[in-house]
Structure 1
Amino acid sequence: MANQTVLCDIGEGICTLTLNRPDRLNAWTAEMHSELKDALYQAGADPDVRVIILTGAGRGFCAGADMGGLQAIGGGASPDRKTKTQAGLPGGSTLAEFRMPYSYFPAIPKFIISAINGPAAGLGFIIPLYTDLRFAAESAVFTTSFAQRGLIAEHGVSWLLPRLVGQSAALDLLCSARKIRAPEALSLGLVSRVIPDDKLMAETRAYARLMADTVSPRSVAVMKRQVWEAAFQSLAEATTQANHEMELSFQTADFKEGVAHFLEKRAARFTGR
């Protein structure tokens, strides 16, 4: 997975994917879109990967869509909405909702953490919302920016954002397109943790290592799928699904290992089976 616009590093059960156009604040292109999707699916299928970290190279996370592409659309070019269709991954959600051009993140059966290291605007604002957890550097700045470009709430952000920050705050961020800094993002629930810039990756990796070393990857995959799919279920449906998944869990090697390592007072050796 050696790519140009997305860098990949795998070690100690963690796959770190880095958006790699630092001279353009990692502005989004069709090539980056394709490479990131391929990299996430490959990491999702790799048994050696337990957790995925997504971050940006240089001083920004992602400044949104490359303005050259937007200018071409404004000049009459048709936007390229094509995307490769990928087969579902074992353990990942199979809902149609998670097969749209940008909504596939919940279908990846690995926990995905965004380490937001600087400006996150437009598409760069939306992408972290599809990940499972968001950590922000103290210098991070967020803006939806769409209203300032004559655009609308695209790629599912009108569904995602109110579920994280509430309807009023979502309308505020979308319709004003104002910039907010990391402390306000934390107070709104947009991110889960604000970390000093020079410690962002170390603390994100420490959290990822905790997951990679101490919890069952099978349990994580199932719980991730349960939580994302619950938005489309009634309480009865979610409970029925949970009861079924619990019965399946009792039959797994990871369940036996979970009990054994606790009783034997040793480190866990989960296999994901």
Structure 2
Amino acid sequence: MTDVVLAENTDGVLLLTLNRPEKLNAWTPAMEEQFFGALAAADADPSVRVIVVTGAGRGFCAGADLTALGAVDPSSITEADIHPSGKPISYALSLRKPVVAAINGPTAGIGLVIALYCDVRFAAADAKFTTAFSRRGLIAEHGIAWQLPRLVGTSRAMDLLLSSRILLGEEAARIGLVDHVLPVDEVLPAALAYSRDLAINCSPQSMAIIKRQVYQALESDLDTSRREAVDLMLASFTQDDFREGVLSHLERREPRFAPLDPDTV
């Protein structure tokens, strides 16, 4: 099978590159299987502390490959055809490790959904974003109706979903769709530098617990979240990472946090 997702692990940062540059990395079943397979492997690999996702060439992901979809009888399509990996498109949210998007160019439809399910997003100032669905006779797919309002608010989500209008990286940053906006040639280096800082200076166990806390709190209430945080805080005081975090700060050196153990979080 052609590698439509490339993987490169450098110093604890795994770079996953969607690799169909001649098609602006349009999404296919093969890409889904390879991408989610790489995410699952990364979550289980102690040498990986942070995951960065980008696109080859001048695009991030231009949405589903409509050529491939056009060859399928619509009446025969099943969920297995849409998700051959057996995993939801939101799979990245369930990982214990941070997932950072480096959005280097056009991002549409399912490509936008993939980016929104990353934990942090860097984007090129001139990158084009669109939900695309309403202009293809489709609906708000893959849970974007849940995620998008949480990022940009209800009325802005309605605007982007109903109109499928194109917005650029600068506007995307202004409304909270992305977190950092830069010139296109700085996007991937900045995302990698950010991720290396996480890999070197942040406790893998702390990051895993924090990520779980944040996404669980979206569906919880303040008092439940606060009480859980008290229990987790008391437990953290007994962990090696807390002692190492304090000691490394006092000794003015980089911390030596242990890799994430799949059985501990």
For normalisation by structure 2, the TM-score amounts to 0.93
Residue 218 of structure 1: which of 205, 220, 226 is its match?
Answer: 205
Q: Which residue matches 1:177?
A: 164
TM-aligned CA deviation for residue 124 of structure 1: 0.6
Contact 2:32–2:83 under 8 Å retained in 1: no
Q: Does 1:230 align with 2:229?
A: no
Contact 2:130–2:160 under 8 Å retained in 1: yes
Which amino acid counterpart does residue 193 of structure 1 have in structure 2?
Answer: H
TM-aligned CA deviation for residue 138 of structure 1: 2.0
Residue 254 of structure 1: which of 228, 233, 241 is its match?
Answer: 241
Q: Which residue matches 1:266?
A: 253
Secondary structure of the residue aligned to 2:139 is coil
TM-aligned CA deviation for residue 195 of structure 1: 1.0
TM-aligned CA deviation for residue 155 of structure 1: 0.6
Contact 2:129–2:167 under 8 Å retained in 1: yes
Q: Distance in 2 between matches of 1:33 and 1:82?
A: 7
Q: Which residue matches 1:201?
A: 188
Computed over aligned residues only, the root mean square deviation of the Cα atoms, in angstroms, reads: 1.6
Q: Distance in 1 between matches of 2:234 and 2:160?
A: 43
Q: Distance in 2 between matches of 1:185 and 1:28?
A: 22
Contact 1:129–1:160 under 8 Å retained in 2: yes
Structure 1 unaligned regions, length at least 5: 86-99
Q: Distance in 1 between matches of 2:148 and 2:39?
A: 22
Q: Which residue matches 2:89?
A: 102
Which amino acid counterpart does residue 183 of structure 2 have in structure 1?
Answer: P
Residue 241 of structure 1: which of 205, 225, 228 is its match?
Answer: 228
Residue 162 of structure 1: which of 149, 161, 164 is its match?
Answer: 149
Q: Distance in 2 between matches of 1:9 and 1:187?
A: 32
TM-aligned CA deviation for residue 268 of structure 1: 1.1
Residue 120 of structure 2: which of 119, 125, 133 is its match?
Answer: 133
Q: Tell me the alpha carbon deviations over residues 193-217 of structure 1, each in whole angstroms, 9 at most, x when there is no partner.
A: 1111111111111111111111111
Secondary structure of the residue aligned to 2:71 is helix
Q: Distance in 2 between matches of 1:70 and 1:32?
A: 14
Which amino acid counterpart does residue 61 of structure 2 have in structure 1?
Answer: C
Contact 2:104–2:124 under 8 Å retained in 1: yes
Q: Tell me the alpha carbon deviations over residues 58-117 of structure 1, each in whole angstroms, 9 at most, x when there is no partner.
A: 1100010110233134654414144445xxxxxxxxxxxxxx611211111111100001
Q: Which residue matches 1:4?
A: 3
Contact 1:61–1:118 under 8 Å retained in 2: yes
Secondary structure of the residue aligned to 1:70 is helix
Overall identity of the aligned pairs, in %:
48
Q: Distance in 2 between matches of 1:62 and 1:257?
A: 40
Which amino acid counterpart does residue 203 of structure 1 have in structure 2?
Answer: A
Secondary structure of the residue aligned to 1:7 is strand
Which amino acid counterpart does residue 5 of structure 2 have in structure 1?
Answer: V
Q: Distance in 2 between matches of 1:167 and 1:224?
A: 23
For normalisation by structure 1, the TM-score amounts to 0.90
Contact 1:254–1:272 under 8 Å retained in 2: no
Structure 2 unaligned regions, length at least 5: 261-265
Q: Which residue matches 1:22?
A: 21
TM-aligned CA deviation for residue 247 of structure 1: 2.0
Q: Tell me the alpha carbon deviations over residues 160-211 of structure 1, each in whole angstroms, 9 at most, x when there is no partner.
A: 0001111111000000011001111011100011111111111111111111
Which amino acid counterpart does residue 62 of structure 2 have in structure 1?
Answer: A
Secondary structure of the residue aligned to 2:165 is coil
Q: Distance in 2 between matches of 1:176 and 1:107?
A: 30
Q: Which residue matches 1:91?
A: none
Q: Which residue matches 2:263?
A: none
Secondary structure of the residue aligned to 2:123 is strand
